[in-house]
Structure 1
């Protein structure tokens, strides 16, 4: 059954009315109508040569031309050339029949008017009469009808979505091919069913949809339908009540594949999210503009920054905070674009001031113009490697020191004894030499003692101590020496600091070694800044900064090595002892320095955790 909309029916009715009126006027020859002068239709009289003999006022008016301008001219003058075949055909028919009928377009100099004409023989003198009715509007209507029919065919018959027309009781009265494919039925099978027959579950939701549909007159929703072959389909539908001639229309679209795809995408996303968030390595995702779009939990923990702080931030700004030169940054970006990946090492200073070392790997466009950087914290690994290297060195030095100390201490004891015996007999002129000998022997003894600290474990007792108090005592002890070098102290001690398990004399030795070095590298004076605060990693952070000339980067790594020193008469054993003491206290030392600006020693010591402390 083909459904015709109301506009198409009205157009056909109008066309039939016009044709009836035209037939009545064309066939009515009674005198009382005085057809020629009073007819609403145009009347044209022409001879056998198709020259116009006369026209009535209605025809002249329809062409918007003067009657005298028409008389005497050939009929073909007003008919477009591509329609002249109509005139010739009319001529042939009139030779065989008394009348002919058809459609003739006439051009009035401005526009083409279409006429429905009837031509018949007027008399035996070779004259013909043509009755013409303007059917331009009618022809336009016909074309519009045809266009609407084509549109209807496109929308209904050839639509990709299923379209079903149904009565108020739900009975299907028509369906297009797409609907038949969706419901796995033939057209005839569908006409014997109701839409609700296919609904899988008549649940409360289904009843609510039906109720809302009849209240609002239309609805759009989605339900699961059971096909005759046992197949389940998720169908999205739009209902419009009383859409065509009182019938209801429902448009269906199969969204089962879309749902399956969405489910697959959700599962894939869940898997990716589980891997992404559960990865032990830090993972950064960034777009083509090098803006960070996501970071996993491990990455946030390593960088001590939240996702909110990082998303939208340029990757360049993060790298600028790292210990990486501009040339190295350009080289990394070049490798990313040329090879699609790059990797390397960098250091990053956390908000706490702690420096961390990372290994990283970049991969370009892993999906949807999103690139990925994976990184892992190798600080402990590097520190362990460094400690192992130093431990090996210390073991060798310890064994060497034990032997040297034993061999030197015996003759040193004899030398000290004889010097003391000779002290009273030394002449006044030689007192200066005696004092130099005594001082140098004391210095040798001090070096031997430092060797012995390295050579064998010291019997020390660790107790809870206030590290701020130990530092205050050390600063007070070195204040006089600082004043002699025009050096001043700036101290900042955080309140309510937790205690540290330590041996106070050894910690004083550490602080004395570092602060004395700081005083000595500032011959023109300046400030030494000492700060102690609680760190985020359950450690106390001790910060000692000087304003000396600084240490080159390649030399910082060698600090703490035996016999490495930047001083003329130094042995390097002081810092070596310092590193060993901090190591024994389960702490770490980090050094940062800039030439011309000074050096900072960062000491991290674990503090005593008490109940309720975080």
Structure 2
């Protein structure tokens, strides 16, 4: 009978605990808010059910109510344990009836002890904690029932303790098994999830490869693809699903099949293979690498990778081209180029080195540089130390020695050669023979001094020149009534003070019958807000001047006024006429040179044959030969005169402020700028703005270019002048306008004689600009787009090196 009761109670405990696990796994698989409290309630329900199936043993009521109480304290905590105790106490009092006090007192004491154990031994393993709690149960039951007079004496029953132990063991086993299995399942789930993510990440990584990866096997003598992925295949339109399990011959171009098949076979035989070929077109180069996968010396499959090396091949070709160009630059350069190491030993020289200094490459390689005179060794050492520290030395004028001990003037440029880490490992030098130039400079120095005074006078005249400015009020009929403001030049024009002109009516100063005034009033009444007039003006004193009158009409507060800038262009018109004549003369000079050369060549031949005839003629014919000789001499005189017309003029070059030259050019064009509503801005993006030049000529270039820009913007706009440093020796001056632009097909012809894009131009102005810039060793570049604007860039040498700093007497000749 006892065994039957054991089986029933143990089965109930096992079922109810298993039911709790079922709910936990399949219903409450996620943690709920009051999960522990629900656990205490469910443990109390199990205890109540166990008490329904109680049985009597040795006069006592026996059941497994203590098992859910212990499990509740161990797994759900103190609060849940006390909830379970409340279920047990209520069931004992109201259901089992008589003599409930000892049992309730015993379970109350157990709950107190279990609370203490849970608080201070919370890290104790559940099995150990269960055994300890079961011992507490056995001891407290013994003590309570021993000291209860109304109860029978409790005899420690080993069989009952075994029942409790078995029930507790079943609950512990089920709960611990569930937790172990649950954690194992969670770990397995996380592992599988990580494996899936890793697999997907690997797949995505392979797919995002810039190249491509593939695998193949050999079956029945055919190479079949088993994997194919990567960005390379996406670019050529291949889908991996369309290629998998397909034969190499089905996807490979016929022309490349033989080569690819041979390499595939070598890899299948166990060799690592790499090769390049053009695919899928002749413009694309790919690099294929094949690696066999072996097991026990048997190839199972081959893994291949594809890399698009088109850009790398292009870079290799560019590097090769650059190398060839650099070698050509060094070997074919007209200047001497040599490279020395940090010890001063020669590593490389070009052909010009032998021509300039006399030593051959075989004589000088590995030797100390022999070109430095003894008295300049310290200077050379100082320069080399600067270069070793990373500094570049450009266009230093010094003296060097030839193999024949003759000294020559050179322009020296030194540059450091650095390795990939930035360390200086060698020094390169470019030497230009300037002996002839220095000789010419010395010969022309006197001429420069004579021209200096004349140039300074002309410069002072230009810098001090200014225009007359008037601000005049208009009446309702658009007729001038009075002067609002006038500058000193304007006052001087009318031989009156400023106060006198401002205090009297307009017609007292300017005649109402003036032709210039009538044209101004007519344009204003026709609605023109900005215009320029050019006419002769006769003052009341009888003085006549030709003026360029720029007018702009606007509102000054409530008054309608116009601003007038009057420029005396009488002298300028004369100068322009002289300039036109000078341009025509230059053209005649070019033509004269060509004619003179064409005449001299046959004339030399005729003269030679006449000399030969003189020795073999009689007296009668001798007269004619002498006559012919005199005529030939006359022709030589004429050709010499032609050459004199074409002889270039030597001009003086000095250090000039580039910004000052530009400002002076802008001042000369100010009336036209105001009249055309043009804004001119100068942007300086470099600290170097001084150049050696002929200031007047360069200023004329700026005037011509700015005038063209202004004329290309009849409705107004902005002209930006940018001064920037191209490199250590060159400055860039860019004129950027917003004008009508120039058709691209006409740009190559700009600067040629008699070619112009203007309706009234003959093309010599821009030709003059080209000639002046070329004589200054500079260049002109023109970029333009119709209806968007034009960019004219002038690049000039700055000549701002240490050799010239602080030396105002430095001059050079420009022809």
TM range, smaller chain: 0.3 to 0.5
TM-score by length of 1: 0.35
Which has the larger helix fraction? 2
